[in-house]
A and B are shown apart, each in its own frame.
Chain A
Amino acid sequence: MAESEHRRVLIVGSGPAGYTAAIYAARAELEPVVVAGLQFGGQLMLTTDVENYPGFPDGVTGPEMMELFQKQAERFGAKVLLEDATEVSLDGPPFRVKTASAEFSADALIVATGASAKWIGLESEQRLQNRGVSACATCDGALFRGKPMAVVGGGDTAMEEALFLTRFASQVTVIHRRDSLRASKIMQERALDHEKIDFAWNSVVDEVLGEEFVTGVRLRDVAGGGTRELPVEALFVAIGHEPNTALFRGGLDLDPAGYIRVERGTRTSVEGVFACGDVMDPTYRQAVTAAGSGCMAAIDAERWLAEQGLA
């Protein structure tokens, strides 16, 4: 293990929250390190078109956008490390963060570890993962050209995946447990109007069918309880996200769903530790709100450091 490197601000996470915090902290000459993780760029890396981030009237792909965020942070001197944080000690300041090849101490810590896609939780779903079951339409959709596919979920992510899959699929069935969608109006309309998309309302996936590869799903009607089989070769799961807070359990106050609790802006239960983005936001979860809270966390951290005489 290398000797511990000290920074005034360390940022864990590299989605829009983490990089915006890095831009602000770097411009405040706090020389931040961003522990970007092997899932660098966060959930936007799995997003095809970002159409609701102001400043991109023609849209931008998620990965392109995250590259721009990273460049902007690096331009002002942020150092980006492409490794996961493996251990965090909140007994500080200084706070300590370990990665595979490095160890850091920091006067202020900004947590921007985001959220990850949830799975349904079926044994058959797990067994057929990468064999037709996927949480990433942009990854695997093209491999099922001309085949029927299904998407589970009723939010914006599910609609985006379904619409993307229409480029390849013979038919896309959206499986949703309710009789109406919670996706934004514009995404709902696009999906409902699309000739290749149909809906299995009030339905949940009971079982993913297939020996070696997915051949279909068995759906259960949530009202009547009856089941039916839907032949598909790919199943994309888009039923929501859970916050990535495993590293902070026991260290920071979390809400019952696992999100980091913050007050007065982005302050967590540990003084000197700030949280921003999807890891503390069960409500909005947008790229632009994550970026906004990243800015808040950097400003909160800078002011806190000044109050402590550490800036």
Chain B
Amino acid sequence: MPEIQIFLTSWCPYCQMAKRLLASKVEVWLEVDVEAEPERRREMIDRSGRTSVPQIWIGEVHVGGYDELAALERGGELDALLAGEGA
């Protein structure tokens, strides 16, 4: 199974929603709190080209934020990606 990374902040409701959706499917992911670790905010922006949280990676695939994660789920593609079968 690919490693799942979420860059987030503790305030962020979309981060909570993303975690809740992931929790319905997998048990483990890696969280990076960019508020607690401001130096990793730069890393997130460099890797994603975005300043918003959450930013989610499944393996090497940059999913984006919650809207994109939810769109994958809507389209029925999230399970395959989590199983390591995605693009």
Query: Which positions in A face B, CB cutoff 8 Å?
Result: 38-41, 45-46, 48, 62-63, 82, 84, 86, 100, 130-132, 134, 136, 138-145, 212-213, 234
Contacts and interface: CB of A to CB of B under 8 A. Distances in A.
Contacts of A143: 9, 34-35, 41, 51-53
Given A138-B13, A142-B34, 19 more contacts: A38-B73, A39-B70, A40-B17, A41-B13, A45-B17, A82-B20, A82-B24, A100-B73, A136-B13, A136-B14, A139-B13, A139-B52, A139-B53, A140-B51, A140-B52, A140-B53, A142-B35, A143-B53, A145-B38
Identify which of A38, A48, A62, A144 gathers the most chain B CB atoms within 10 Å of its CB.
Answer: A38
Contacts of A62: 13
A290 B13 CA distance: 21
Contacts of A138: 11-13
Interface string B8-38: 0101111111001100100000000011001
Contacts of B12: 136, 138-140, 142
Contact of A100 (B14, B21, B74): B74
Contacts of A144: 51
A49 B69 CA distance: 26
B14 A130 contact: no
Contact of A213 (B11, B51, B70, B74): B51
Contacts of B76: 100
Nearest to A86: B74
A136 B20 CA distance: 18
B62 interface: no
Contacts of B73: 38, 100
A249 B22 CA distance: 32
Given A82-B24, A136-B13, A143-B34, A38 B50 contact: no
B13 A212 contact: no
A51 B76 CA distance: 39
29 contacts: A38-B21, A38-B70, A38-B74, A41-B13, A45-B13, A45-B16, A46-B13, A63-B13, A63-B16, A84-B74, A86-B74, A100-B74, A130-B50, A134-B52, A138-B12, A138-B13, A139-B9, A140-B12, A140-B51, A140-B53, A142-B11, A142-B12, A142-B34, A143-B34, A143-B35, A143-B52, A212-B49, A213-B45, A213-B51
Interface string B60-82: 00001100001001101000000
Contacts of A141: 11
Among B50, B52, B76, max chain A CB count under 10 A is at B52
Interface of B: 9, 11-17, 20-21, 24, 34-35, 38, 41, 45, 49-53, 64-65, 70, 73-74, 76
B65 to A, nearest CB: 6
Contacts of B53: 139-140, 143
A86 B70 CA distance: 13
A74 to B, nearest CB: 15
Nearest to B9: A142
Contact of A139 (B11, B49, B64, B70): B11
Contacts of B16: 45, 63
Contacts of B20: 40, 82
A295 B12 CA distance: 30
Contacts of B24: 82
A82 B20 CA distance: 10
B21 to A, nearest CB: 7
Nearest to A141: B11
